[in-house]
Structure 1
Amino acid sequence: MPFAWMVNAVWVAVTAVAIVTLFSRLLKTKLPLGLIGSAILTVVLGQGLIFWFSNPSVPILSTVQRNIWLALAFFLALSTTLRAIKWLVLEILVYRRSIKIPPFLLDISEWFVLLLVVLLTIRLVFGVELTGLLVTSTVASAIIGLALQDTLGNLISGISLQIEAPFAVDDWVEIDGIEGIIVRQNWRTLTLLTREDHRVMLTNSTVAQSKIINYSRPTNRQIQTVYLTLSESYSPNLVKNTLIASVQRLDDVKLHPRLRSHVVSMQDGCVTYGLSYWLDDYSDKIVARDKVLTRAWFNLHRAGIHIPDPTGNFTLNMIPADAVEQNRLAEQRHMFSVMRSLDWLNMLNETQLKQLADHSAVASYTGGEQLVKQGDPGDSLFIITRGAVSVYVRSADGRSVYANQLNKGDFFGEMSLLTGEARSASIRANEETEVIIIDKEAFTNVLTQDPSILERFVTALERRQEGLSQSLQQDSAMRRREMENGRDAFIQRIRRYLRVP
């Protein structure tokens, strides 16, 4: 009887491998080497035993030796069959249809079936009744069960988590207050990789009892909100528009269509604002928040909106009564010093330079922030006093193409200042950059007192033409076309726009 079971097991293994081989041909894939080796070993051992036991000339083994060899062949044959079935499941369901099956579930199933195979081998090959074995092992089973209580609890929790599937490997989650990406899940633990590259292992029972926040489901796109508390002295509409403007030109951050910027609360003389935006990849949360808050800081400061001390603590300092006026005068002296060092403004005397500085403004921009956009209206000229900017022009197919870099002392936007033409290029800060902005009103005030400055100014721009960047060369090309039709006509056009006699 055991010999017949062994023969049947070998033929089952051979049939399973044949079926797997057929499927591998149909699926155009290769059989794993482990399965091939196991199948060959099963066939060789099975055929060898069949020849041994069927040939009377071969020495007869003892009953115990015979049963050991039969058990080995039987166990190896069923193990090969299990390998074949597992390979088919992985190949058809996991690899072909992208159905996520945790590896530890397959391992547990394989261990359970192998345990049944061992019990069947003991019963069919050795003829041992399992009832007595199970009864005599009741006390031992109880002791082992108590010792493995936590382990079994983690195993059952892991199976329930897999059935409910609240997360999967590579998902960003927050479990028990710990945020990270799931890198591994097995029958006992779950492993998270935090943003600080720390590996945190949580038992499945802990995970099952904790609040789970999945940032990757149902999609990777999440809404993020940053909060800023400002003084109630600023108009909410001004603050909200300033915050919106700080994010609108970020290429990789998009505002939420409905929430955008909104008032969250008002208390203790302060107003808390929220700025909501889409986050397409949760792994970029810190980087995106840094960009949004940095842009918001620069935009708020350019608008004259300052962030108060959130603690409510005040430091008493001896500040002169005219401190604001002194700061304004220091800024004007700084602008005057910069303007005086520029050769293309040397046609202005000291009084005229001071007047121009008094009516100009200083603005700071962070790296990546856009100062002007091609096609937008404008009436101001920018002088770089610190940092550097890149010039981008729009190609015929609509792409933004890098043209050149402008550094300290360079300027751009003179055609918008002189004629009101739209910006001919987009300018983006490469790093934290400070510029002096001379607008139409400031320049007109100087020209009104001395109209002859205009012709000298145009002449100075012509002399500087060779040193201009590509974007400014486009402005110069327009200026040359104007001058081909007559220099006087071009100057008259500027006079009409600036309303200078």
Structure 2
Amino acid sequence: MPFAWMVNAVWVAITAVVIVTLISRILKTKLPLGLIGSAILTIVLGQGLIIWSGNPDVPVLTTVQRNIWLAAAFFLALSTTLRAIKWLLLELLVYRRSVKIPPFLLDISEWFILLLVVLATVRLVFGVELTGLLVTSTVASAIIGLALQDTLGNLISGISLQIEAPFAVDDWVEIDGIEGIIVRQNWRTLTLLTREDHRVMLTNSTVAQSKIINYSRPTNRQIQTVYLTLSESYSPNLVKETLMASVQGLDDVKLHPRLRSHVVSMQDGCVTYGLSYWLDDYSDKIIARDKVLTRAWFNLHRVGIHIPDPTGNFKLHMIPQNAKQLAMHSRQEELFATMQSLEWLDVLNETQLKQLADHSAASTYTSGEQLVRQGDAGDSLFIIKEGAVSVYVQSEDGRSVFTNNLHAGDFFGEMSLLTGEARSASIRAEEETEVIIIDKEAFTNVLTQDPTILERFVTAIERRQKGNTQRLREDSARRRREMENGRDAFIRRIRRYLRVP
């Protein structure tokens, strides 16, 4: 190989690095460390070649030393040029224009070209004949072929997967029964990161032969369905309405417009129901399912629907004949004890409190569940037995403004109960909250018998409404100040730029 060709190859590599560096500055991106290191070595060896070729004072190298230096300089120069071309293709086409060029195909091409260069360098620089290396015995060829069978299979499978592109890095997939997000794909293996934070490596040949489910294509939005098996004694319409109410109010979960809640099967005295909903991000699958099933459990229990034992085992209990009456009496006594401890009900005598307890019910809501929605009609009063709720009022611009927190012993819903007005605020459970719901007719009878409680209610209502109004005023004033401050800052910025006093 001529010496001038070697020097020109070095200069081509240096020129390529300079061009790539300028492009990286224009695109405001960083060069890979491998390309920088290869460029530095190329420049060092190239400078040595120039000094050695143009300076007569440098000692003459032996033929072997000369050939090694030339081969190393040429190999580094070509490697640097290939790295620069690869970086340009990835940066300008793959990353910038989303052109589908498999990265490891570029790696394979680079290795193949470098292998050819090594063989050519050995032949032209060192004068070694390659015929003996290329012509091998039949036994040696069979051994090498068998040894590389799996490797070549994975390589070919990886190339076919890259060309078909059934998935990409960061996609949620299920392959060979393993679910996870793709974190890496190379010429031999595919690496998945499971929900348990385990890294699972699958060979490309295994992936190519397996069923692939991609949960990120064509979009991250997927339909999920949860199944519940209940007794056939419950009305399917009641069950479906209750299940659909479980999803309503969840920000990240929306009901499917057609499937919604549906009957899946009926057998052995049980009915299996499906609840289908849209999931915007598949990575939140478990979190969303937990929210849906938790809401479903609370909603089902509130309407008296209980989930049967999945084992099908019979459980024998000695139940007295008046078990239902005893349970109801125990519940009413518990509600009566709670009401008796409330200060704002201390004007009621024992008979009046028992009357309220006999006509009231208890319900439990989970965290984040909405008890009351502003604008809805209502005719019941809620007393918080355990837990806490937040009160939100819709402002003039349509935003939901937090106004208050209510805890055990507080009440809400009195305006709808007493005047028939729509709910004036939205109430949301901040934690698992149990409330007592008092019947309108029973409470009206108590109020007509003792007007004193009405006066206390009016006082509490005025205090509550005053607090809500004050919160809304404070929120509006704060937003006005923010807008005014932002406007003043913007004007000051313009004046500084235009140098206007």
Q: Please, what TM-score do these two structures have when normalized by structure 2?
A: 0.87
Conserved 8 A contact 2:42-2:73: yes
Deviations 1:55-88, CA, capped at 9 Å, x for gaps: 6665543333332222222212212221221221
What secondary structure does 2:135 align onto?
Answer: helix
Match of 1:432 in 2: 432
Q: After TM superposition, give the deviation of residue 283 of structure 1 in Å.
A: 1.1
Residue 457 of structure 1 pairs with residue 437 of structure 2 = no
CA contact (8 A) 1:425 1:471 kept: no
Q: Is 1:124 the counterpart of 2:124 in the alignment?
A: yes
Structure 1 equivalent of residue 269 of structure 2:
269
1:7–1:339 Cα change, 3 Å: closer
Map of 1:151 onto structure 2? 151
DSSP 3-state at the match of 2:230: strand
1:415 and 2:415 correspond: yes
Give the direction of change, closer, same or farther, for the CA distance of 1:292–1:47 in structure 2 (3 Å limit): closer
Q: For the residues of structure 2 that align with 1:43 and 1:460, how far apart are their CA atoms?
A: 90
Amino acid at match of 1:407: H
Relative distance call for 1:403 and 1:259 in structure 2 (3 A) is same
1:316-395 pair list within 5 angstroms: 316-395=316-395
1:133 is matched with 133
Identify if the C-alpha distance between structure 1 residues 29 and 197 changes in structure 2 by more than 3 Å, giving closer, same or farther: closer
* RMSD (Å) for aligned C-alpha atoms: 2.5
Q: What SS class does the counterpart of residue 409 from structure 1 fall into?
A: coil
Cα-to-partner distance string for 1:121-165 (whole Å, 9 max, x where unaligned) = 112222333333211477545433322322222222222211111
Q: In 2, distance between residues paired with 1:14 and 1:192?
A: 39
Paired residue for 2:71?
Answer: 71
Structure 1: unaligned runs, 5 residues or longer: 475-501
Distance 1:139-1:55 versus aligned 2 partners, 3 A rule:
farther
Structure 2: gaps (5+ residues): 471-501
Match in the other structure for 2:489: none
Q: Distance in 1 between matches of 2:249 and 2:28?
A: 50
* Distance in 2, Cα, partners of 1:119 & 1:138: 22
Matches within 5 A, 1:64-103: 64-99=64-99, 101-103=101-103
Partner of 2:231: 231
Which residue number corresponds to residue 308 of structure 1? 308
CA contact (8 A) 1:298 1:365 kept: yes
Pair 1:35–1:336, CA change in 2 (3 A): closer
Q: 1:466, CA displacement in angstroms?
A: 7.8
Matched-pair identity in %: 83
- For the 8 Å contact 2:404–2:468, the answer to whether it is kept is no
2:286 counterpart residue number: 286
User: 1:378-424 CA distances to partner (integer Å, 9 max, x unpaired)?
Assistant: 11110111111111111121111111111111101111111111111
Any conservation in 2 of the 1:404–1:470 contact (CA below 8 Å)? no
| Equivalent pairs, count | 470
Instruction: Give the letter for the 1:353 counterpart.
Output: L
Deviation at 1:337, TM superposition (A): 1.4
2:154–2:204 Cα contact (<8 Å) kept:
yes
CA distance in 1, matches of 2:65, 2:326: 105
Deviations 1:429-480 (A, max 9, x none): 1111111111222223445xxx342x21221224545874867779xxxxxx
Quick one: distance in 1 between partners of 2:353 and 2:468? Answer: 23
Residue 201 (str. 1) matches residue 197 (str. 2): no
- Alpha-carbon distance in 2 for matches of 1:352, 1:81: 93
Give, in whole Å, the separation in 2 of the partners of 1:290 and 1:36.
Answer: 50
User: Is the partner of 2:321 in helix, strand or coil?
Assistant: coil
Letter in 1 for 2:455: T
Q: 1:357 to 1:40 in 2, by over 3 A?
A: closer
Distance verdict in 2 for CA 1:35–1:354, change over 3 Å: closer
SS at match of 1:226: strand
1:295 aligns with 2:291: no
Q: Relative to structure 1, is the Cα distance of residues 86 and 410 closer, same or farther in structure 2, using a 3 angstrom cutoff?
A: same
Equivalent residue for 2:211?
Answer: 211
**Structure 1 pair 26–330 and aligned structure 2 pair: CA distance change class (3 A):** closer
Does the 8 A contact of 2:17 with 2:84 survive in 1? yes
